[in-house]
Amino acid sequence: MSTEAGTRTTTTTQPSGRVGDSPLRPDGTLKVTGEFAYASDLWHDDMVWGVTLRSPHPHARIRGIDIAEALTVPGVIAVLTADDVPGENAVGLEHADQPVLASEFVRYEGEPVALVAADHPETARRAAQRIHVEYEVLPAVTDPRRAMDDDAPAVHQPGNLVRHLTLRRGDPDATAPVVVSLDFEVGMQDQAFLGPESGLAVPAEDGGVDLYVATQWLHVDQRQMCLALGMPKELVRLHLAGVGGAFGGREDLSVHVHASMLALRTGRPVKMSYGREESFFGHVHRHPAWMTYEFGAERDGTLVYARARTVLDGGAYASSTAAVVGNAGTLGLGPYRIPNVAVDAYGVFTNNPPCGAMRGFGCVQAAYAHEALMDELAEAVGLDPVAIRQLNGMREGDTNITGQVIDSAAPVAELLQIVRDMPMPPPADTSDIRSRPGAVGNTTHGEGVVRGVGYAVTYKNVGFSEGFDDYSTARVRLEMTGGEAVATVHTAAAEVGQGLITVEQQICRTELGVERVVVHPKNTAVGSGGSTSASRQTYVTGGAVKAACEAVRAVVLERAALSLGRPANELRLDGGKIVGSSGEVLVGLGEVLGEDAVEETVEYRHRPTHAIDPETGQGDAHVQFAFSAHRAVVDVDVELGLVKVVALDTAQDVGKAINPDAVVGQIQGGSAQGMGLALMEEIVVTDGHVRNPSFTDYLIPTILDMPPMQVKVLEYADPHAPYGVRGVGEPPTISSGPAVAAAVRAAAGKPLRRVPIRPEHITGT
Amino acid sequence: MRITTTVNGAVHEVDDVWPGESLLYMLRERMGLPGSKNACEQGECGSCTVYLDGEPVCSCLVAAGQAIGREVTTVEGLATEGQLHPVQEAFLECGAVQCGFCTPGLLVAAHDLLARVPDPSDLEIREALAGNLCRCTGYEKILDAVRSAARRQAEA
Amino acid sequence: MDFLQPTSWTDALAARAERPDAVAIAGGTDVMVDLNFDRRRPGALLDLGRVPELREWAAEDGWVRLGAGVPYSRIIEELAIQLPGLAMASRTVGSPQIRIRATVGGNLGSASPAGDAHPPLLAAGAVVEVQSAARGARRIPAEEFYTGVKRNALAPDELIAAVLVPTAAGPQQFCKVGTRNAMVIAVSAFACALHPDRKTVGTGIGSAAPTPRRAPDAEDFLAGELQAAGLWDSRGRLPEELARAFGERVAAAASPIDDVRGSAAYRRHSLSVMARRAVTWAWNDLREAA
């Protein structure tokens, strides 16, 4: 095969592009020619295939595992169980509560129980079927609302509560003349990244392992692997393979330890690639949520108080549930000024599929509740949906519900005004079947079609919160190669498709004044780049790259200053040359550097965040907030309950668009994922069993479902962030869905308190 | 079983193919052509789209043996002599590629559309590409890319 | 697993007879999913893709004899006039890539209640032609072909040769509800065909019973009411109440279940709406043609 593990992604670009430009992705050509090596494309001489045997039960005790028959299958090289885990049989993103391979209990359907390595994936699958596991099926906790009951079976000891966040501000018992309330339920969404989990583990001569894997955070993977493999980090080396999307679903481990165990045991390189069905069992999902909200307001619509109770189903293991609860609590009332607040947010264990990170992280669920309730309030006081939000919307300098001052732009009113003022789509087009609800299904020729318009607004924390030591490391090297100044940037920050590598190049070009920037393959040979999540990489890793460039630049200019006899602060780097304050070329970079390379490694941290008070939930929990608003226009066939979204327009403040085209791409893609949850995406779980683990029945939007999207980007720089950037990736996923839901409610004239909205919810049948 | 088929103009002969294997598996794992992607294994995502005797098909749903003696063209065969096809150029330049996992299949599907309909309407583009799921872009820049590719082909 | 690849109909029938453990594969859009998802490991695959007879269609005496291996993309392009209902249904099958491969023969072989081709075949009064090496050909009316969930009347040694569909003598319609606007398995589907020559009405229901089925009461009711009101001859407007009552009878003919794709109640409701609308469109087409 043409692609060898470890030889990819040393990407060199020709096109120039600095901060604020939109240069092409350095990996783009490889991606359009089919040569880009995703994790599932990796191949190695002498490679064998690993497969996972998973639990068919949501909750059971393992009485015994008999692997003897599986070992007799010709072509099988190894069969491993929990007894073979070399280190601690426990992994987990925040708490190591999940076995690498189940030993005593299985706690969800699909939990890994055993591994097989064989010379062909079909052989390995057949052998896995010959592993005999004796289960004693146990009662399962499958309703998260009952998980905290005294008589509920405990998924873990001491009980099923992962986190209870209490937030009290002002007078929690405040009253108001206008009161509105609702219950809202959000179904379980899947990240549905297109490239299923995959990795290649290669045993090394030093007794260690090199793992090439699609992930979001190499170092947090490494930390867990070291514990599970019982090996020091020097021997557990991770390399980022091509990633086919992530959206939170690759923050937890998948094949990592399993493939490495098989490789270390067999002495052969082992590839593990999930199919789509296994992928649905192989990563965490977005938490389903049950929310009860109440707003009290003055008669003019000004909010007086808000109360909220939220239950999030964490499933069988903790993953990032505690942090999701943190967001659902601290940000759960949306970007509004509310003086009196009482919020209780719970994350619980059940025997349902584990839930964790997904784009929007706790804010997505909450936004459905607070935005639906805001529309209720608007109606109660006789305001339109935009006016009520503008009236109550946060402004810079306001204090949010945890008592944190919003210390940069908070343009809620302006964002809403922008989307309201955008041109409306033309009236319902019934001339072409493809424009109607139901499209080529030919279900309406205009009958029953009602148009609806809905608005929603959100704010989302950027970066990790609540006191987490959130940092990124960057190593930047500047040297002459073939007579040309070349910068090499090395971070471990995962490129998952969003375009971080382009941004890293742009920053290097801008700070070092060179054209040619090589992005070093991402691996654990450099310090942590933190997680590719929480809309944080351009901010934090971008900040690290900028800082590393500045350190390199300082060394270079100091050298130039010495040789030129001029103060360093009068010198700049531009076009591969040292130039003076008025731009005059003083000396070439080659003459300053000679044969030397200047290399600096820098850790960059954003301003610290703080834990919230356990009693009141008060504190400066977050470092930055990103705001967006959506307007959705839908045509609903109210008799059949079918929806055609005809416009999904948005405005978002991004602080500073480092790469404007990529920013728009994030906003459009994020909006589509939000729309998917509103209308079609749900992992249906009955009694702990996933009923639709396939793309036939887990539906994500097609190109015929997506409308044209008008996007307006505001750039109100955050003075505390590098270049003034504000995280981009998540807000669109938060505000788009509630806007769509509001538009469908407007058209259908029904409350619709659950997403995804199914046709039968609209028709009432 | 032994399978002989022409892929991207070159005759490939592979042995020991398990008859239950798909054309996709054979391309990726036996012929060194991993460009076509395996994302759903059931024809719902289009990431594995290739030409089979000139028609775009989901290669995950073609049994390897069904490709015996046929002509297959994959994403790796769209560029000629190192020159990207206008569809590839357009996807690259319009920002239609993020993670890129859907890209190989979309390129083949868009290539086929523009070969049949040189100047498609937006609705024609949407119907023709409805079998290719993308999770990153929201499809706007994919539409841009197909429109742009149509213009490029018209000018060429 | 063996791979059998006959290149003639005679050889295909021989292979079918010799290998009862073989699964026939045409476009592969169902069979390969089962293989990829490890649901099925037959002793052999019997590839019908190289049997030229199966890929032909011909008009014969008011019928179209549609080879079992003609893909949906060709039905859309070549048979929209003769078989409008089937062509409309064909356009809703999967994606372009699927329609190029998938066949009516495959739909019949799988006999899924959600197969898109079934409702228009039932509405049109199609007949399935099957054949074995031992006993030759026999013809089975479509409504007798489906015998249970994913079961059909095919004997183990038989293959589906063709489906014979009466050339449309009047307007036909097809509607399909799915929870997204493309590439979706039917939550429910309905087809109707007006046969003004015989003054009868044909129906077909999909995804709302263990098998695709007709709604005979609805057919008889509507044909009778049209006759009673003289509308077959006058081509007057279809009374809304009549269309509504027809829809209710179609819904009553279904035996839907709750599943991940939709509820039984919604399936029934959606059938009544689709049937009302579809018959109205068909009737309006008939009036316009007059």
Q: Both B140 and B90 in a single domain? A: yes
Instruction: Return the number of other C-beta atoms located less than 10 Å from residue A9's C-beta.
Output: 21
Do C85 and C174 meet the contact criterion of CB atoms below 8 Å apart?
A: yes
Does the CB of C97 have a partner CB in chain B at under 8 Å? yes
Closest of A288, A219, A287 to residue A253, by C-alpha: A219
- Answer whether B18 touches C (CB < 8 Å): yes
Q: Do C47 and B58 touch (CB under 8 A)?
A: no
Distance from CA of C39 to the nearest CA of B (A): 12
Cα dist. A344→A143, A704, C203 in Å? 18, 40, 55
Domain spanning A48-138+196-243+250-282: CATH superfamily: Aldehyde oxidase/xanthine dehydrogenase, a/b hammerhead (3.90.1170.50)
Supply the pLDDT for residue A505.
98
DSSP A545-578: HHHHHHHHHHHHHHHHHHHHTS-GGG-EEETTEE
pLDDT for the residue B82: 86
Domains A48-138+196-243+250-282 and A471-605 share a fold: no
CATH number at residue B125: 1.10.150.120
- B108 and B60 within one domain: no
Q: Do A695 and B20 touch (CB under 8 A)?
A: no
Secondary-structure class of domain C57-166 per CATH:
alpha beta
Q: Chain A neighbours among B 74-133 (CB < 8 Å)?
A: 74-76, 78-79, 84, 88-89, 91-93, 95, 97-104, 107, 123, 125-127, 129-133
CATH number for domain A471-605, candidates 1.10.10.10, 3.40.50.720, 2.90.10.10, 3.30.365.10: 3.30.365.10
Domain boundaries, chain A: 11-41, 48-138+196-243+250-282, 289-465+611-763, 471-605
**What's the total number of domains in chain B?**
2
Identify the domain boundary among B29, B59, B77: B77
Contacts of C98 in chain B (CB under 8 A): 43, 58, 61, 131
Residue of chain A whose alpha carbon sits nearest to that of C188: A441
pLDDT of residue A572: 94
- Which of B58, B77, B96 marks a domain boundary? B77
- DSSP letter at C229 equals T
Short-list A328, A22, C190, CA closest to B92: A22
DSSP annotation string for C116-162: TTHHHHHHHT-EEEEEETTTEEEEEEHHHHEEETTEES--TTEEEEE
- Give pLDDT, residue A14: 38
- Shortest distance between the Cα of C91 and any Cα of chain A, in A, equals 7
Provide CATH 3.30.465.10 ranges for chain C: 57-166
Distance from CA of C266 to the nearest CA of A (A): 5
Q: Which residue of A has its CA nearest to C258?
A: A760
Rounded to whole angstroms, how far apart are CA atoms A476 and C148? 67
Give the C-alpha separation, A495 to A519, whole Å: 11
Pairwise CB contact (< 8 Å): A192 & B32: no
**Closest approach of C267 to chain A, Cα-based (Å):** 9
Mutation for C interface: B47, B66, B102, most C CBs within 10 A: B66
Residues of C in contact with A642 (CB under 8 A): 177
Give per-10-residue mean pLDDT for chain C (290 aa).
97 98 97 93 97 97 97 98 98 97 98 97 98 98 97 97 98 97 96 97 98 98 98 97 98 97 98 98 95
Q: Is the CB of residue C240 less than 8 Å from the CB of residue C248?
A: no
CA distance B76 to chain A (A): 5
- The answer to whether A579 touches A622, Cβ cutoff 8 Å, is no
Closest to C147 measured CA to CA, from C204, C93, C109 = C109
Alpha-carbon Rg for chain B in angstroms:
15
- Interface touch C25/B66, C-beta < 8 Å: yes
Q: Under a CB-based contact definition with an 8 Å cutoff, are residues A747 and A451 in contact?
A: yes
Distance CA A270, CA A258 (A): 9
Distance CA A213, CA A514 (A): 31
Show residues of chain A in contact with B24, CB under 8 Å. none
Record: contact A441-C177, CB cut-off 8 A? yes
**The model's pTM:** 0.97
From A544's Cα to the closest Cα of chain B, the distance in A is 23
Asked whether the beta carbons of residue B19 and residue C45 sit closer than 8 angstroms, the reply is yes
Decide if C180 and A701 are in contact by the 8 Å CB cutoff.
yes
- Taking the C-alpha atoms of residue A30 and residue A28, their distance in angstroms, rounded to an integer, is 5
Could you say which architecture CATH assigns to the domain C172-289?
Answer: 2-Layer Sandwich (3.30)
**Claim to verify: residue B115 and residue B66 sit in the same structural domain:** no
Q: Positive or negative CA dihedral for B26, B29, B31, B33?
A: positive
Main-chain phi, psi angles of C286, to 5 degrees: -65, -40
Q: Are B40 and A694 inside 8 Å of each other by CB?
A: yes
Measured in angstroms, the CA of B58 and the nearest CA of chain A are apart by 14
Q: What token pair was written down for A315? A: 């499933």
> Cβ of B82 under 8 Å from any chain C Cβ?
no
A606: three-class secondary structure by DSSP:
coil
What are the residue ranges in chain A where pLDDT is below 50?
Answer: 1-15
CATH 3.30.390.50 residue ranges of chain C are 172-289
Note whether B68 and B126 are same-domain residues.
no
Tell me: the pLDDT tens digits for A687-727?
999 999 999 999 999 999 999 999 999 999 999 999 999 99
pLDDT at A358: 98
To the nearest 10 degrees (0 to 180), the angle between helices A500-512 and A537-564 is 20
Peptide bond into A172 cis (omega under 30): no
- Using the beta-carbon criterion (under 8 Å), do C185 and A680 form an inter-chain contact? no
The residue of chain A nearest to residue B28, with distances taken between CA atoms, is A41
What is the distance in angstroms between the CA of the first residue and the CA of the last residue of chain A? Answer: 54
Which of B48, B77, B106 marks a domain boundary?
B77
pLDDT of A507: 98
Q: Which of C91, C174, C260 sits opposite A697 (nearest CB)?
A: C260
CATH class of A289-465+611-763: alpha beta
**Neighbour tally for C143: CB within 10 Å:** 18
Report CB contact under 8 Å: B47, A496.
Answer: no
Q: Is B53 on the interface with C (CB under 8 A)?
A: no
Structure token pair of residue A631: 């307007």
Q: Range of B105's domain?
A: 86-155
Q: Which position has the token pair 């490391």?
A: A473
The residue among A532, A530, A531, A518 whose CA lies nearest residue A490 is A518
| Pair (B92, B139) in one structural domain | yes
